[in-house]
Structure 1
Amino acid sequence: MLEPIRKPIRRAIAPVRALFVSDASAGVLLILVAAAALVVANSPLAEDYHNLLYTYWWPKEVFYLNDLHLWINDGLMVIFFFVVGLEVKRELIAGELSSADKRTLPIISAGAGMAVPALIFVTIAGSNPELIRGWAIPAATDIAFAMGVLGLLGSRVPASLRLFLLTVAIVDDIGAVLVIAVFYTAHLDVMWLAISFVVFGAMVGMNRFGVKSFWPFLLGAIALWLAVLFSGVHATIAGVLAALTIPMRDANGHSMLEKAEHALAPWSAYLVVPIFGFANAGVHILDMTVEQIFAPLPLAIATGLFLGKQLGIFTIVFLSVKLGIAKKPENANWMEIWGVTILTGIGFTMSLFISGLAFGNSQLLVDEAKIGILLGSIISAVIGYVALRVTTQHPEETEHLEEARQAKP
């Protein structure tokens, strides 16, 4: 008797309930943390916020990481990059990137999704040589944020598109790591770089010669981080390299790599990335003029994220399918694919990270970059959600899932 009433109510509260499922929770937390950082940075606590992050603890000659902000970006974020490396290795060996037919579409999509935003950025801001270093800022997709928005839609979105978004974002991260290593290395210390190669080689050797305990690899990862930090290459690259040396299985035949990933992923998603987001998303905007908010740098980043990502990825997916290079994601129509490509324009974590590397010597440019990242990411999240909510043709999946839950004793 009450069933006609229950169904509309269940549909109405589905987005709220989705906040608490695994796909959405990490992304929602990141959204809340970013909002909190903006509020604090534009409140009477702004000076305390700045002092907390940037007060020097000791001279840089004593140790390079001499304030909390550096420890977060160059130290704590190594855990995030280590988890990224574990995800990449698992996907390459046993996941969606393990065979040519599976990895073709994500790889070429991610490539286009990095190239087109970079071209748009250069077109808008490239005439200013001071801004050109930011070309890679709109090229990265934030996995947690994007998957969080997708999670709000529940099972309305086909599973194949969730997998597509996830694999594209992972390949995107690989590209971003390579960009950081190649283009954002200011100077090189040959001795420390050689030590880094020796440590990395030793870790690879431990893998090849059958070391099955995790602790030697953990100690090696710490040594590699220190060596890379002093070499001039960004220290977080050590996290990815160390992760690639982790054996697939331990002495008991269990998956050491998956065990490490499952143990560290929640810490990365619910502690490391939110701390990074709070430390980097705060920008003082109350005194900014409209001209500053829509200056060439934030405009180039926001446009690159929102238009560049969807234009590059959707175009390459459409052409690949039409030319027979790859198969269209199963049970998905073109409008749904377009909606998911909009979500790839959410570039929060990696984009903030790259902006700090690109404009670390200019707080004004870092703040302008943050505005562009936040604008592009928010617009992509909202438009992408609305597009998928309106165009999806799988409402019956949500009903069937809910009815199956109700039928359980």
Structure 2
Amino acid sequence: MKRVIAPLRDFLHRESSSGTLILIASAFGLIAANSGLADTYFAFLDLKFQIGPSSLELEFTILKSINYLLMSLFFFVVGLEIKRELTSGHLASFKAAAAPLFAAIGGMSLPAIIYLAIAGGVEPNGWAVPVATDIALAVGLLGLVGSSAIASLRSFLLALAVIDDIGAILIIALVYSTGVNLSWGLAGLLTIFAILGFRKLGSQSALVYLPLALSLWYCAYRFGIHPTIAGVILGLLTPNIARTKSNLADSEDGSVSVIEYLEHKFHPISSYVIVPIFA
């Protein structure tokens, strides 16, 4: 058994492994979508299921559940990493944090300008389509270079991709959405204030924050924007303070930050399960 488990553990501990899995999953998806398996493949992605009572309006296809549910956890992990970099990492200074912001603005503006220059006369309303960066694939493929990647470069690209993606979500919500429900947006803001209130009280209980996290996701979903933005918000709201009574083996003083603890718990799921499925 050890002969099987040890190589698997080594593989999962290598940062480049997630990028390898993404390439394999992407190749499988391309083959399935362009072969005799195509009908079965797309029929599977279109399978529908209901979460909870029908009044919640949580009916999903397999594809939608990946994009809305699983990717929310991925964006939560990304939000955690950015928060850590903003508070104690390579983006802690204003100059370092401003660089990906301006780069993202340029990265959103230039594709839109190119689109309008080429197709503006035919279909001008499609200018927002090329704005977004596929952050899941961008971050995953960055892992292919593993430890050889400069940490500051990874932080820069990660922040750039997230800002770009959030910008695209907001553009689509403001420009294209016709069913935005402001009351759910207000409920989402109240949920954020509740999270900040419990933070102020020093609470670190999952029994407190899990219902609030689910509530924020649902508010974003019913508000009419892509609910993965709730994952980013939750990650950025997570405090970079010490969490005691941790059982992490690599902790020297018996405590790690809340962000490090959550990253340790959810990063493997995000990198080795969610992103390959998304790919």
Bin of the TM-score, shorter chain as denominator length: 0.7 to 0.9
Equivalent pair of 2:104/2:161 in contact (CA under 8 Å): yes
| Partner of residue 159, structure 2 | 170
Q: Does 1:121 align with 2:119?
A: no
SS in 1 for 2:227: coil
Matching of residue 225 in structure 1 with residue 217 in structure 2: yes
Deviation at 1:104, TM superposition (A): 4.3
- In the TM superposition, what are the counterparts of 1:294-333 in structure 2 within 5 Å? none
Q: Measure how far apart 1:62 and its partner are.
A: 6.5
The gaps in structure 1 that reach 5 residues or longer are 1-18, 278-409
Specify the code of the residue in structure 2 equivalent to 1:45: L
Counterpart of 1:80 in structure 2 is 74
> Closer, same or farther in 2 for the Cα pair 1:215/1:254, shift >3 Å?
farther
Counterpart code for 1:220: L
Instruction: String of CA shifts for 1:212-252, please: whole Å, max 9, x gaps.
Output: 22442222111111121111121111111122222223552
Cα deviation per residue 1:97-149 (whole Å; 9 max; x = unaligned)?
1113433444433433333233223323333325334131458671111342x
Structure 1 residue aligned with 2:22: 30
| In 2: Cα distance, 1:43 partner to 1:198 partner | 49
Aligned residues: percent identity?
Answer: 30
Which SS does the other structure have where 2:71 is aligned? helix
Q: CA deviation at 1:66?
A: 2.7
TM-score by length of 1: 0.56
**Maintained 8 Å contact 1:247/1:257:** yes
Q: Structure 1 residues 50, 229: CA separation in 2 closer, same or farther (over 3 Å shift)?
A: same
- Paired amino acid for 1:82: F
2:73–2:231: 8 Å Cα contact kept in structure 1? yes
Aligned counterpart for 2:141 among listed residues 145, 148, 169? 145
Where does residue 269 of structure 1 map in the other structure? 271
Taking the TM superposition and a 5 Å limit, the aligned residue runs for 1:79-228 are 79-129=73-123, 131-137=126-132, 142-148=138-144, 150-151=145-146, 155=148, 160=150, 163-184=152-173, 186=177, 187-228=179-220
| Change in 2 beyond 3 A, CA 1:67/1:132 | same
Q: 1:31 to 1:128 in 2, by over 3 A?
A: farther
With over 3 angstroms needed to count, the CA separation of the structure-2 counterparts of 1:124 and 1:22, relative to structure 1, is farther
Say whether the 8 Å CA contact 1:78–1:239 is kept in structure 2.
Answer: yes
Aligned position for 1:312: none
Cα distance between partner residues in 2 of 1:147 and 1:208: 36
Moved more, 112-121 or 35-44: 112-121
Deviation at 1:270, TM superposition (A): 0.8
Judge conservation of contact 2:71–2:228 (CA < 8 Å) in 1: yes
Counterpart for residue 246 of structure 1: 238
Unaligned runs of 5+ in 2: 1-10, 245-254
Question: What CA deviation, in whole Å up to 9, does each residue of 1:65-108 have, x standing for no partner?
Answer: 33111111111111011111111211111111111343344443
Counterpart mapping for 1:245-394 below 5 A = 245-250=237-242, 252=244, 254-277=256-279
Query: What is the Cα deviation at residue 33 of structure 1?
Result: 0.7
Question: Taking structure 1 as reference, are residues 96 and 50 closer, same or farther at Cα in structure 2, changes over 3 Å only?
Answer: same
Q: Is the 8 A contact 1:143 1:166 kept in 2?
A: no
2:53 is the counterpart of 1:51: no
Contact 2:48 2:59 (8 Å CA) reproduced: no
Report the 3-state secondary structure (helix = DSSP H, G, I; strand = E; otherwise coil) of the residue aligned with 1:142: helix
Distance 2:167 2:209 in 1: 22
The code of the aligned residue for 1:145 comes to L
Aligned partner of 2:60 among 59, 66, 70: 66
Quick one: which amino acid aligns to residue 39 of structure 1?
I
Larger Rg belongs to: 1
Q: Match for 1:135: what amino acid?
A: P
* Separation in 2, partners of 1:249, 1:199: 21
Deviation string, structure 1 residues 336-389 (Cα, Å, up to 9, x no partner): xxxxxxxxxxxxxxxxxxxxxxxxxxxxxxxxxxxxxxxxxxxxxxxxxxxxxx
Backbone CA RMSD of aligned residues: 2.7
1:38, distance to aligned residue in structure 2 (A)? 0.7
User: Which residue, 13, 32, 47 being the options, matches 1:40?
Assistant: 32
Q: TM-score, normalised by structure 2?
A: 0.79
Q: Give SS of 1:57's match.
A: strand
Q: Distance in 1 between matches of 2:57 and 2:264?
A: 33
Poorly superposed stretches of 4+, deviation over 4 Å: 58-62, 138-141
